[in-house]
């Protein structure tokens, strides 16, 4: 059964860089037909799609975050990562990674999510 | 961006009730519409994909319909485990966007 697990610091200072890794187990990140995505949810609010990567390195970002976000993939470790720079309190959220089916673009499964707080 | 609007934002219902949640897209998205269930402290789970296809393992009491701009999620007979927040998501174009959620309460 495919599982995704986020890891990274739970606290980041304002204007610094948020870094998270998603480890994929029970399947290969180079499986054809699937993209690998990041999604966030501020406390008490709705879901925001951050961006996506394919194992061949194809990347797409949410235009609203594009200037601050980098997503990368490490196929040898079966992981993909998120970096977001110049964070503010508005970036405080639960960050989740998810697998996305490439034709109808649904997200399944999701990682359990990790809360990242931005505070000095 | 395609805006997704869910209604209602919250809904009080009882076990055994039939409930319908609606989701409207700001432009046509064909059948590129997915529904997720989220329980407190948990990640969302895919329940319906491509507007009307039931994800494996999801109870048959759940159904989805619609195309274009208007979609519905129906639960035919509410069970205690169905009380959660439901989100729609358009998967027609990037950036993928979600509705604001419908909290289904007892």
- The per-residue pLDDT for range A18-58, each reduced to its tens digit, is 999 999 999 999 988 999 999 999 998 899 999 999 988 89
Q: Which of B32, B95, B98 faces A46 most closely, judged by CB atoms? A: B98
**Mean per-residue pLDDT, A10-23:** 98
Measured distance CA(A114)–CA(A117) in Å, rounded: 10
Chain A nearest C-alpha distance from B30 (Å): 11
Q: What is the pLDDT of residue B76?
A: 96
The parts of chain B modelled with pLDDT lower than 70 are none
The per-residue pLDDT for B24 is: 98
Q: What are the E-state strand segments in A1-120?
A: 3-7, 11-12, 18-25, 34-41, 48-53, 59-61, 69-74, 79-84, 93-101, 107-110, 114-118
Q: Which of A107, A112, A113 sits opposite B46 (nearest CB)?
A: A107
Nearest to A106 among B43, B46, B95 (CB): B46
On average, the pLDDT of chain A sits at: 95
Judge: A62–B100 Cβ closer than 8 Å, yes or no.
no
């Amino acid at each position: 059964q495919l599982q995704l697990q986020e890891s990274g610091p739970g606290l980041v200072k304002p204007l610094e860089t948020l870094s998270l890794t998603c480890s994929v187990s029970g399947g290969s990140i180079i499986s054809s037909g699937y993209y690998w995505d990041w999604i966030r949810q501020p406390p008490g609010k709705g879901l925001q799609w951050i961006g996506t990567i394919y194992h061949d390195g194809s990347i797409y970002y949410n235009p609203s975050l594009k200037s601050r976000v980098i997503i990368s993939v490490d196929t040898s470790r079966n992981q993909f990562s998120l970096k977001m720079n110049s964070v503010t309190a508005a970036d405080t959220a639960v960050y989740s990674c998810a697998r996305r089916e490439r034709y109808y673009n649904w997200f399944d499964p999701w990682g359990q999510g990790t809360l990242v707080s931005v505070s000095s | 961006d395609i805006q997704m609007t869910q209604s209602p934002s919250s809904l009080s219902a009882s076990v055994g009730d039939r409930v319908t949640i609606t989701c409207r897209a700001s432009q046509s998205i064909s059948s590129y519409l997915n529904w997720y269930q989220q329980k407190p402290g948990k990640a969302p789970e895919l329940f319906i994909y491509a507007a009307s296809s039931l994800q494996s393992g999801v109870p048959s009491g759940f159904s989805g319909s619609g195309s274009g701009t208007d979609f519905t999620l129906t639960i035919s007979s509410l069970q205690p485990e169905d009380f959660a927040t439901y989100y729609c998501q358009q998967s027609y174009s990037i950036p993928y966007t979600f509705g604001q959620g419908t909290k289904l309460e007892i």
